[in-house]
Amino acid sequence: MDELWNKGVFSARQIEKLAARNAIIADRPFDEDQVQPASLDLRLGDIAYRVRASFLPGPDHKVSDRIDALQLHQLDLTQGAVLERGGVYLVPLQESLNLPERVSASANPKSSTGRLDVFTRVIADRARGFDVVPDGYEGPLYLEISPRTFPVRVRTGSRLSQMRFRIGDSRLTTAEHRTLHNVETLVFDNNAEVGEGVLLSIDLKGEGRGGLIGFRSRRHTPVIDMDIKDTLDVLDYWEPLVNRGSDQFILDPDEFYILVSRESVHVPPAYAAEMVPFDPLVGEFRVHYAGFFDPGFGHSAAGGTGSRAVLEVRSREVPFLLGHGQTIGRLIYERLSEEPDRLYGAGLGSNYQAQTLKLSKHFKPFAL
């Protein structure tokens, strides 16, 4: 099957071909918007298992073997159920795989999932790592879900994670990143550093937003329904953070923040990108749980000026001082296997195209 395809990340059209050839097997037909420009949204099945601990099955075990040993109780998702903050849940997904040789897959939380600090990881049978599915894998998929900040309501069919398919490693080298930037402008900043990816820095000025630099999550909030958009009052869940004359900000340990990059970024149509979630070279914090940037992010036919990268930030163990313009993340680009037939934001109802500082799709618009 893969002899027809070049090395690289699969486009939506190629994902649909995988499904048509039963390399992706679904319990129910795909939702109309389930296939994204270079990824597939994954849907929750009917049951969630509350488990005592996160785990990897290891090379000699199926995930179901570990569930039997670790489960505390089951939740019926057909009518919806609340996943409590701090709990660890495992949900069989509606999609399973029968991948051809050389075709592998990787997963990441969807943008809206990451912006609510809902930690998700895909697990396959006999897996040695999270969110990675080896080439030729045949078997079921499971999603580990752990809400870290807010209790959330999910149901059968909720889409919290997304999967990419690829042949080989098509990530750009340092020289290729620089060449692509010279041709396509990956980051709209004359002082941007492009090398082993695109380095992004933090915006702590809030210019054009009334000084708003981000949000810090509140504790003891109401439940968030993961499938309902544009209904929640921001102030019930978030504390706005405003620049009060200082270009510095201290991240408190165990607090969750939504911040934004100083730069606007651009993912050209023939490429995809992924944010490095934790880089000890730039600080003791984790940034951007939701790591996929689809082809066309920040792109327009007229050229445009890109879109900001919204950053989900959690400090690790110690308070950490950020300064305006400090490097906070790295965006790695890779080639698609073919020119895509659809782009992010191009009539797809994409929630975060042309964004600046934006909370998840569940909240009403907010301004100071």
pLDDT tens digits, one per residue of 261-291: 999 999 999 999 998 765 655 555 667 665 7
Identify whether residues 63 and 187 lie together within a single domain: no
Parallel, antiparallel or unpaired: strands 103-109 and 47-51: unpaired
Q: In which domain, by residue range, is 273 found?
A: 174-335
For residue 247, which phi and psi values (nearest 5 degrees)? Answer: -100, 25
Mean pLDDT over all residues of the chain? Answer: 90
CA atoms of 92 and 26, how far apart (whole Å): 12
Identify whether residues 138 and 236 lie together within a single domain: no
Q: Is the model's pLDDT at 196 over the cut of 60?
A: yes
* Reported confidence tier of residue 302, pLDDT bands at 50, 70, 90: very low
For residue 131, which phi and psi values (nearest 5 degrees)? Answer: 65, 15
Q: What does the radius of gyration of the chain's CA atoms come to, in whole angstroms?
A: 20
Name the pTM for this structure: 0.92
Identify whether residues 267 and 150 lie together within a single domain: no
Identify whether residues 138 and 184 lie together within a single domain: no
Identify whether residues 186 and 324 lie together within a single domain: yes
Q: What is the CATH number of the domain that holds 312?
A: 2.70.40.10
Q: Is the model's pLDDT at 301 over the cut of 60?
A: no
For residue 22, which phi and psi values (nearest 5 degrees)? Answer: 65, 25
201-254 pLDDT, tens per residue?
899 999 988 999 999 999 999 999 999 999 999 999 999 999 999 999 999 988
260 within a domain of the structure (yes/no)? yes
Identify whether residues 257 and 308 lie together within a single domain: yes
Q: How many domains does the chain have?
A: 2
Q: Name residues whose C-beta falls within 8 Å of residue 211's C-beta, 6 or more positions apart in sequence.
A: 205, 242, 243, 244, 368
- In this structure, what DSSP letter does residue 231 have? -
C-beta separation of 109 from 146 below 8 A:
no
C-beta separation of 114 from 362 below 8 A:
no
Identify whether residues 89 and 178 lie together within a single domain: no
358 within a domain of the structure (yes/no)? no
CA atoms of 63 and 57, how far apart (whole Å): 6
186 within a domain of the structure (yes/no)? yes
